[in-house]
Structure 1
């Protein structure tokens, strides 16, 4: 069996790899000079758990700074794909390639659960995201800046137990942002929030993405959330990318607009028709 490789390629080789990916979707726009995200090329990615083939040959190119949403029914492989990109799982075959300037700490993950340390105050929970840099002289200022970015500077000395669900997720976002990631992987981070808090968090995610220029990859069950936030929506079916939709609606986007509703309806029809075939 071919061993999967997670590599860092020179930019010329990365571009060549992207051109060879059958399902590659490369935007024509030139990335903003303010964008600090990393490009991503996935080729022939496969992953099985026992006899269950979860990913069956994923080919994908994500340009620098793009916001990509991945949707699909439960068990289709979308979270597994995200975990492989984040380096939390090892693939059975294929490759995941980043730009030549990438470092392991450039990729950060935000999960559905905040996963805060109950015995540490908010500022200390954010500092966890600095890893080995927690002992550096600028650890506190960096954590405080991250909390300010998510609107929680006044909660720095609070315990996690007194925070609301939305505030806990904002602390988790600050923890992910404190190390200035170049790729942010989001595994259904808003799934447990109430409707109004979820909309507020969506707007916050979009703002920090625009401000910081990282490449964002969001796994979600919510198609409306996907089209509201993403530049592009990938529909995963049975371990493959079955549908690749560009969201050409200008930002800022109006939730419930006819354009977004049309895209959402198209993707939902695709998902429902796929469900009917299984």
Structure 2
């Protein structure tokens, strides 16, 4: 049962139980107002490290800090009543080893109220995923294109084509066996994504993957069209709010310069004198 038809907020076992059922709906949010908008419609809301690029103007996710993720996680938590919140672990907060990962994951969960954390990496991160899940920290895995490793991967390229498909298959099996309750497949070919979805016993959440995945996730700013020049192939624009905002701001600027705003209805007169 989806979060939109049940008042009880889902927890990771509920998400895992959705394997093969009604597709899971997930969007990002970084602020309280946006969290309130997406909450009625989503099963999960991701406080993604994409916040660094979307809201802070960073060139990649590599400059995102724990403090940033906690701040935005706390803001999103204030806007959620129904959806489960998942918070990304930022670059450098877990790669050193399981002990470092546990300290930072525990901090993220305790200071934000997140239902789970998400970390990037396949087979090489399986021991860390196992360490966390054995200690009560639910983990959403993330394989395929892993933006924190973009420099190693050689850019934002599709992963798993040709002979590279075996690596992605192995990663998916490894994170599932380690105890992840779900796994994001990013920029993985359609047929391979569908194959992995059939093969693993945890839900797959696609972004630039396949409609056959057990769920989908998008960056909310992308699907709302808030960026007029950024159009990834895997994003469907459900609105063009960037263009609408540009027109509205231009109209405001023109009226200010023409002194037609504020009008009489927007200003205040003298208080009527009492007799």
TM-score under structure 1 normalisation? 0.36
Identify the structure with the greater helix proportion: 2
For the pair shown, the structure with the greater C-alpha radius of gyration is 2
TM-score under structure 2 normalisation? 0.36
Identify the structure with the greater strand proportion: 1
